[in-house]
Amino acid sequence: MTATVGQQAQAAARANDVWKVYGSGEAQVIALRGVSAEFERGRFTAIMGPSGSGKSTLMHCLAGLDSVTRGTVSIGETTVTGLGDAGLTKLRRDKVGFIFQQFNLLPTLTAKENILLPLSIAGRKPDPAWYDTVIETVGLKDRLDHRPAQLSGGQQQRVACARALVSRPEVIFADEPTGNLDSRSGAEVLNFLRNSVREHGQTIVMVTHDPTAAAYADRVVFLADGEIVSELIEPTAETVLDTMKKLDTPAEVGN
Amino acid sequence: MFRATLKSLLARKVRLILSGLAVVLGVMFVSGAFVLTDTLGRSFDSVFADGFSEIDVNVAAKPKVQVNEMEGEQTVAPLPAALVDRVKQVPGAASATGVVNADGARVIGSNGKVVTSFGPPQLGENWTGESELLKLREGRAPQAEDEIVINKALATAAKVQVGQKVGVLTAFESKKRDFTLVGVFGYSGDRDSIGGVNEVFFTTPVAQRLMLGEPDVFSSITVQAAGGVSDEKLRDDVARTLGADFEVKTGEQVAADASASLKEGLSFFNKILLGFAAVALLVGTFLILNTFSIIVAQRTRELALMRAIGASGRQIIGSVVLEAIAVGLIASVLGLAAGIGVGALLAFLFGKLAGGLTLAGIGVPAAAVIGSFAVGLVITVVAALLPALRASRIPPIAAMQDVATPDRPLTKITVAGSLVTGVGAVLLFLGLSGNAGGQTLSTILGGVLFAFIGVALLTPLISRPVVSLLGAIFSWSVPGQLGRLNSGRNPRRTAITAAALMVGIALVTGVTVILDSAKGSISALAQDTIKAELVIAGQQGGPRPPTFDPGVLDQAKALPGVRLVDGEYGDMGRIDGEGTWVAASSDIASLRQIFGAKPTAGDIDRLGPTQMLASSDTATSRGWSVGSTVNVQLTRGEARTYTISGIYESSQLTNPVTLPVTAAKDFAIPQPIQGFIQLDPGTRVSDVQPQVEALLADSPEVSVADRDAFIKQQTSSLDGLLTMIQILLALAIVIAVLGIINTLALSVLERTRELGLLRAIGLRRSQTMGMITVEAVVISVFGALLGVVVGTGLGAAVVEALKDEGITDLILPWGQMGVFLGLAAIIGVVAAVLPAVRAARINVLGAIAHD
């Protein structure tokens, strides 16, 4: 099964018949088998699937972190496939933001410095109004001068979210952003991500295996064995769980 | 970005301190060398300025044979006394005084030994009265032939008092002569000497006879200008009156010239120190390279994150290089400061050793500052470039997942290592075979440098089997086995750490091989050639070789059982305008028999007063044959023409040319330096030795020894040289030890979780420490082993190249090598202490939870 896609608006990120093959010969692993997908601007999309389904690989390929074996990937107007290191660097600088499972803050910098790091790397000044808005939204106003080690996990992840948002990228890729958080902090972060989509028109693509997290998204794309197998619009935790169960079953039978 | 870099640097201060320390030590060497030579230079300036302050104009003969500071004190030919009156006549001259001032007045202390000076001359002078500068502290001026006055420092060193009889050896009399000490003088400002110079004042006739060898001559004439006449004008007037045969200078010029010649020696010394600094810095480079590599490896995730959020590869390189610049800057500042301290300390010690040199204030010359910063910064940045390049290649995806750093294949590095080693070998070959076209030294040094870098690059490949083999010694215990595996875990890191130690050990081993071979070859040759059972010689302490009374030679010849006696004299002379070492022998026939000299042309058994012998090498290179006439200018006297009457075969022990003994009176040192005694067959050495000893009672600078003792004495200067080189290279080894500590400390930090796990499953603290220690010992012994092998190779290559120079035997210092390996094991244990303690203290629970 290829390509089920939302057709509305313009796509912020697009994968077109993407194949990803690791290794060769007997050790060959096909991580993606001709995936085509579009991620619309201003929407919150979750990519779900059991482990080994290729969901992380798809995200890495979309973000230009990993090369594709075949097919093309584009972000906004930019075709990612075939870009050299300089092009990819520029892409990451201007069009892409990341949120990681392990937060990945620089331990030596304060929260504020961490948030402003992408702009300072790019040599740009923050838009003060937008910066204030972001800080306001993540609720970190009184924590800006703290080091990551002085913040709780949830607070650290909110700093990471602010860091991704502050440069207003075309699309933010979030890799299991709640994987290392307790459920309450996780809910806070997810709420915050959903709000940034609804209120500020941010595009977010999130990889997760947690149905509750996926339920915060506007749309869920399901992957199994390197292919897109299903999709839900306006999901709830229950519908996501049901779909996952259906996906698991044939695999178990297969074993 | 800039801020992020600086913050990350500050957060890692401990890690960087050790690598910074390597730079600090190297830079310290550099700035210390400059500060020391600058301080000593200015001290000499002021000493000479002071010593010549009362002279307006000085007249001296042009030196007949120019010698540089390395070859000894300049001796000038004497001036006729009548010249003093001619100078007095020059309008504008208020007074002119004839001065006797020559090196070689040696006072025998109350213990019967000659008071030596390590460097400054021992002057014998004529008393011309007190002055502003020079004042008698005790007693009176010398009036009779057997009266002397000496400076306070010399009186103190010799432990003699006014009124006592004091023995003195002089330039023209190496037999002790007794004088009455009638006075002790000092200099203004309560100084006991000027620059550590020992001075003996005689009455003028005695000074002329004993220090200059003839009556009615002076070393120089000092002239005082009349009021209103400038020194320069007086100088020009005197020069015009006397003509071109004399050097007429103002007091200031004399001071500047004297100081300049000493400074030439100092700059040579400076270069040697800088050479050792270069070695220290080379080792430091390895250490910095390693530290930065490890830091980059540890920061993989952080750097990948930077890449993921938009940093370009160039920015990453920039951030690592920036870090290096910061470390380099701080280290340079500290190194400069430490160097100033070390330079001041050494200058102080030097001043003490040289007998109370009054030091000028410690100054920091611009060269020290520029040198320190240039060297510190350049070295650090160059060493950090490779790790920086590696950092820029970290893929951004490494921020998302634990990308195991793949074990990169060693092919590339091995190929590069082989190439670089090859280049080093070619350079060494060119340099050692004398095909480098005038750039011999730099070619050889370049070859050594390339060889070191090449071997360092090859080390990762070698390290696998060797480290595993070395580690096998410890693998009987579990911690030993773990330590062995850990040391083989990252071949590159182990290799660079070991390579740093290799450099120091290789240089020490190489130098030891060369010097031992030289010593062995010379001893063997001497043993084969010298057919003298007894040798008269002394241990040279200062620039002037010990001498003895030539009368002893005749007396010894008359002893029962003595067959042949030969006394040897030597000097730098000019033959046909070219500086050449010339010798003279008291008995040319004995010389031939004692040294088994073989004639290649002419007659070498006798020598007329205008005849000369030459060695075959000298004859060939100068184009001489029997019957050639040459012009010989010695330190004193007029140039003479000699005819070559015989040519002897060259060996290590032959002199380039041999003159008749009558020529020796014109030598700078007109006394014999060595005497060789051959006994009748069947005569016991122990029967004759005490009798010769008795003859030498009045020549306390020398003693008589049997041949083996003499050879040992002669080669002992090489031992001193070896010790000095070893001490200076020890710094390179200290830096290498820092490197081992650094590598281990970082490894422990990296393996916190793993160490916690090992402790959790029951590894005891002591076992943890054992494991770390084994790792350290394996790495350092590996480095020492490499060093011994590479050093032996280098040493053997040099010895091979010096075969024609007479170093025929390759002698490998097995004992020394064993010591180095043992030392390396100890170094390993010492280096492991801190990291091991740290590893043992790891909190088990915290370590396992450690992210």
* Of the candidates B414, B413, B420, B419, the residue with the CA atom closest to the CA atom of residue B386: B413
Nearest CA in chain A to B10: A108
Verify whether the Cβ–Cβ distance A118 to B309 is below 8 Å: yes
- For B792-820, the pLDDT digits (tens) are 988 888 888 877 777 778 888 898 889 98
Partner residue opposite B4 with nearest CB, options A100, A106, A122 = A106
Q: Tell me what the mean pLDDT of segment B628-647 comes to.
A: 88
Report domain extents, chain A.
Answer: 42-51+82-254
More confident: B715 or B777? B777
Given CB atoms, is B306 within the 8 Å cutoff of chain A?
A: yes
Give pLDDT tens digits for B27-38. 888 888 888 888
Distance CA B633, CA A18 (A): 95
**Please, is B62 exposed, middle or buried when counting C-beta atoms within 10 Å of its C-beta (0-12, 13-18, 19+)?**
exposed
Pairing of strands B106-108, B165-170: antiparallel
Nearest to A120 among B1, B10, B395 (CB): B1
Instruction: Pick the closest to residue B105 from B148, B49, B152, B141 (CA basis).
Output: B148
Using an 8 Å Cβ cutoff, are B502 and B463 in contact?
no
Selected residues 40-79 of chain A with any CB under 8 Å from a CB in chain B:
56, 60, 65-66
Task: Determine the pLDDT at residue B179.
Answer: 94
| Strand-strand pairing, A227-233 and A219-224 | antiparallel
CA atoms A71, A75, A77, A79: torsion sign: negative
The predicted complex's ipTM stands at 0.78
What mean pLDDT is predicted for residues B222-251? 86
- B8 with A108: Cβ contact below 8 A: yes
Interchain CB distance below 8 Å, A93 and B310: yes
Q: Which of B263, B184, B198 is nearest to B542 (CA)?
A: B198
Write the CATH number of the domain with boundaries A42-51+82-254.
Answer: 3.40.50.300
> Closest by alpha carbon to B3, among B393, B323, B473, B391?
B323
Q: How many Cβ atoms are within 10 Å of B117's Cβ, its own excluded?
A: 23
Task: Flag if B399 and A100 touch (Cβ within 8 Å).
Answer: yes
Segment B256-315, tens digit of pLDDT = 887 887 777 778 778 888 888 888 888 888 878 887 887 787 778 788 888 888 888 888
Predicted pLDDT of residue A43: 92
Cβ atoms of B29 and B280 closer than 8 Å? yes
Q: How far from each other are the two terminal CA atoms of chain B, in whole angstroms?
A: 25
pLDDT at B522: 82
Over chain B, what is the mean pLDDT?
84
CB contact under 8 Å between B307 and A120, yes or no, is no
CA nearest B650: which of B684, B618, B628, B604? B618
Q: What phi and psi values does residue B7 have, to the nearest 5 degrees?
A: -65, -40
Q: What percent of chain A has pLDDT over 90?
A: 26
Rounded CA gap, B201 and B222, in Å?
Answer: 17
| Spatial CB neighbours of B643, under 8 Å, sequence gap ≥ 6 | B610, B611, B612, B627, B628, B629
How do residues A12-65 score in pLDDT, each as one tens digit? 899 999 999 988 888 888 889 999 999 999 999 999 988 888 888 898 888 888
Which residue is listed with tokens 């010989």? Answer: B632
The helix/strand count (H/E) of chain B reads as 23, 24
Distance (Å) from the alpha carbon of A253 to chain B's nearest alpha carbon: 31
Best CA proximity match to B688, nearest among B678, B702, B673, B698: B678
Q: Using the beta-carbon criterion (under 8 Å), do A109 and B1 form an inter-chain contact?
A: no
The pLDDT value given to residue B1: 63
Tokens encoding A215: 């339920």
Q: Tell whether the model's pLDDT for residue B650 goes beyond 90.
A: no
Cβ pair B307:A106 closer than 8 A: no
Q: Which residue has the higher pLDDT, B753 or B847?
A: B753
Secondary structure of residue B79 in the 3-state scheme: strand
Measure in Å the smallest separation between the Cα of A243 and chain B Cα atoms.
Answer: 27
Tell me which of B3-7, B755-759, B825-829 is least confident: B3-7
Measure B309 CA to nearest chain A CA, in Å: 6
State CA B417 to chain mean position distance: 33
Q: Is the pLDDT of residue B618 over 70?
A: yes
Contact yes or no for B8/A108 (Cβ under 8 A): yes
Q: Which residues of A touch B11 (CB under 8 A)?
A: 107-108
What is the spatial distance between Cα A187 and Cα A182, in angstroms, rounded to a whole number?
9
| Other CB atoms within 10 Å distance of the CB of residue A190 | 24
Q: Side chain identity at B305, as an amino acid letter?
A: L
B734 Cα distance to chain centroid: 20
- Residue among B308, B395, B401 whose CB faces A98 most closely: B308
Kindly tell me the sign of the dihedral angle through the C-alpha atoms of B147, B149, B153, B154: negative
Map residue B191 onto helix, strand or coil.
strand
Q: How confident is the model at residue B733 (pLDDT cuts 50, 70, 90)?
A: confident
Mean predicted lDDT score pLDDT of chain A: 85
Gap between the Cα atoms of B264 and B271, Å rounded: 11
Q: What are the chain B neighbours of A62 within 8 Å (beta carbons)?
A: none
Kindly tell me the burial class for residue B227, based on how many C-beta atoms sit within 10 Å of its own C-beta (0-12, 13-18, 19 or more): exposed
pLDDT higher than threshold 60 for residue B574: yes
Residue A204 has pLDDT above 90, yes or no: yes
State mean pLDDT over A176-194: 89
Alpha carbon B402 to its chain centroid, in Å, reads: 54
Q: Which residues of B touch A108 (CB under 8 A)?
A: 4, 7-8, 10-11
Mutate to test the interface with B, among A83, A102, A161 (most CBs of B within 10 A): A102
Whole-number percent of chain B with pLDDT over 90: 13
Contacts of B315 in chain A (CB under 8 A): 121
Give the pair of three-digit tokens for residue A5. 């896609």
pLDDT confidence band for B544 (50 / 70 / 90): confident
Whole-number pLDDT of residue B144 = 92
| A109–B4 CB contact, under 8 Å | yes
| Residues ≥6 apart with Cβ < 8 Å to B116 | B541, B542
A86 interaction partners in chain B (CB closer than 8 Å): 312
Whether residue A135 contacts residue A114, with contact meaning beta carbons closer than 8 Å, is answered with: no
Q: Hey, which bits of B116-172 come out as E strands?
A: 122-126, 134-139, 147-151, 165-170
Average pLDDT score over residue span B113-135: 84
* Other CB atoms within 10 Å distance of the CB of residue B551: 13
Of all residues in chain B, the one with the smallest CA distance to A124 is: B1
Statement: residue B14 has pLDDT above 70: no
For B727, other C-beta atoms within 10 Å of its C-beta total: 10
Q: Which of A148-162, B294-308, B345-359, B793-807 comes out lowest in average pLDDT? A: B345-359
With H, G, I as helix, E, B as strand and everything else as coil, classify residue B538.
coil
* B132-165 pLDDT tens trace: 888 899 999 999 999 999 999 899 888 999 999 9
CB–CB contact B312 A89 (8 Å): yes
pLDDT (average), residues B471-500: 81
Beta bridge partners of B136: B185
* Tens-place pLDDT, residues A100-127: 888 888 887 889 988 988 888 888 888 8
Q: What is the pLDDT of residue B406?
A: 54
> Model confidence at A5, in pLDDT bands (50, 70, 90)?
very low
